[in-house]
Amino acid sequence: MTNISFEEAFSPRHSPHPLPGRGAASGPRPAPSPFPGPARCSQRQERGAGSGTAAGGGAGSAMSFLIDSAIMVTSQVLFFGFGWLFFMRKLFKDYEVRQYVVQVIFSVTFAFSCTMFELIIFEILGVLNSSSRYFHWKLNLCVILLILVFMVPFYIGYFVVSNIRLLHRQKLLFACVLWLTFMYFFWKLGDPFPILSPKHGILSIEQLISRVGVIGVTLMALLSGFGAVNCPYTYMSYFLRNVTDADILALERRLLQTMDMIVSKKKRIAVAHRTMFQRGEVHNKPTGFWGMIKSVTTSVAGSENLSLIQQEVDALEELSRQLFLETADLHATKERIEYSKTFQGKYFNFLGYFFSIYCVWKIFMATINIVFDRVGKTDPVTRGIEITVNYLGIQFDVKFWSQHISFILVGIIIVTSIRGLLITLTKFFYAISSSKSSNVIVLLLAQIMGMYFVSSVLLIRMSMPLEYRTIITEVLGELQFNFYHRWFDVIFLVSALSSILFLYLAHKQAPEKHMAL
């Protein structure tokens, strides 16, 4: 008799064996006999042994599922702790933690976002049972979508309303109004994009993940386009200006002269105020009509002179700020020139050339994909190995090595994505946060982080071999994956070309500004 395991009973889509009685060939059955003979007894013994084996297999599968769940829960607790420490040590080290619910939401979002990448690694390595991975994929996606679509937007509206005194009494009501407004625009976002199959209902998980994917892919493409251009511009010594010590000394001398002029003019203003004050105290107030006219004309003339001097001081202070920033920029450029002469600097200079080639190749491929409406079917690693092997004409196990290299590539992409996003979030938080807006900013960062990681799963699927994409495709549903890759190419191309234009103008303007100063 066919044994049915726990996974086969509860995960029919992963069951390679059909159940008996539903089209499965269970073998020839013995002819029915009206008398209890040896055949009937042996049949009962086989049936009892088969049911015992099935029960044992079910118990073993249940135990395996519990062990897999314990592994996932442990990793999520570790990710939660890391997110909590990052929140305390990086984001809020200079601010008072006003709401612990903000810290919990940020840490939970970080934990479930990292868990998705962990499941990708487990899928490649074959860690955990396939049915366990499928269950935790579904659970993880449901929780992260619940956080991104319902919880975080509501609390953002709640804390925004809490900072407005007029709405303080009915902040819960206005928070619900803001959340409903967000849901309306969030739902309307999917109308102009062909992101769903007509089969999906309005309450399906694909409705949520498709819209989250559009926002996240747009954000990823913008950051990737700017990073692909800014990285070689930052690392390569070719783009460094030639700065000497004489240039720095001349600019510092100009800055000191400007500061001296500001001090002297402020002294004149202070002396004039003191003189006018003393005249008002020592001399009696003028009497008569002509005395009043004389005092008015004199004070008007004096105030006009002081206002002109104050305008000159304001202009000089603005010039001093520009000179100070230019001086700091020259010092930083000088340090970069000295750093580029070291071994580590030469290494990063080489990386800059590599990334410049990558940037040109990425822009070229994005243009080709957009013009010819093309989406790759094979992951880049396998395709690159096949081209190299065919060109060199050597014997090489493409499938074996492509799996290992793809695993390394996916790991690098995951680590660099998490690290780069955390660095960007930290800089962004320090730039715009304050004591009143810090909670709202952290929730916005959690929203961006969750959408970024969900869209990373959508795009990283293409970097995996075909045999590892199956479970991700099943979990995410029948989404239009080709649309997301084309949309990424379009936004990436726009972002990269805009970044090239911006950096070109900034690089060209810097020497002209230096010569003018």
Q: Within 13 Å and on the Cβ side, how many CA atoms surround 226?
A: 8
Residues 6+ apart with CB under 8 A from 375: 369, 482, 485, 486
- Neighbouring CB atoms inside 10 A of 95's CB total 15
Tokens representing residue 336 in the block: 């970069």
pLDDT at position 419? 64
Read off φ and ψ for residue 204, nearest 5 degrees.
Answer: -80, 160
* One-letter amino acid for residue 467 of the chain: E
Q: What is the DSSP letter of 21?
A: T
Distance CA 498, CA 70 (A): 47
Amino acid at 219: L
Burial code of 29-46, b = ≥16 C-beta within 10 A, e = fewer?
eeeeeeeeeeeeeeeeee
Nearest CA to 406 among 464, 460, 445?
464
Q: What residue type is 182 in one-letter code?
A: F
Flag whether the pTM goes above 0.75.
no
What pLDDT is stored for residue 453 in this prediction? 84
30, 358, 466 from 373: Cα distances, Å: 61, 21, 21
Helix axes 481-516, 343-372, angle to 10 degrees: 130
Torsion sign over Cα 280, 282, 285, 291: negative
Per-residue confidence of the chain (517 residues) as pLDDT tens digits? 444 443 444 444 444 444 334 344 444 444 444 444 444 444 444 445 455 555 555 666 888 889 989 999 999 999 999 988 888 877 666 555 467 888 899 899 999 988 988 888 888 778 888 888 889 988 998 899 999 999 999 998 888 888 777 777 788 888 899 999 998 888 888 777 766 555 655 667 777 888 888 888 888 888 778 877 877 777 776 777 777 788 888 888 999 999 999 999 888 888 888 887 777 644 444 555 555 555 544 544 556 677 888 888 888 888 888 888 888 888 888 888 888 788 888 887 787 777 778 778 878 888 888 887 776 555 555 666 667 767 776 666 666 566 556 556 655 655 666 666 666 666 666 665 565 667 888 888 888 888 888 888 887 776 666 677 777 777 777 677 778 888 888 888 898 888 888 888 877 766 555 555 4
Q: At what angle do helices 130-146 and 38-86 cross, to 10 degrees?
A: 40
Please report the pLDDT score of residue 504 as a whole number.
Answer: 82
Q: What is the DSSP track for 378-428?
A: S-HHHHHHHHHHHHHT----HHHHHHHHHHHHHHHHHHHHHHHHHHHHHHH
Rounded Cα distance between 464 and 405, Å, is 10
Q: How far is CA 338 from the centre of its chain?
A: 33
Distance CA 170, CA 174 (A): 6
Give dist(CA 98, CA 153) in Å, integer.
18
CB 141 within 8 A of CB 482: no
Q: Retrieve residue 474's tokens.
A: 């099943």
State the Cα–Cα distance between residues 156 and 169, nearest whole angstrom: 17
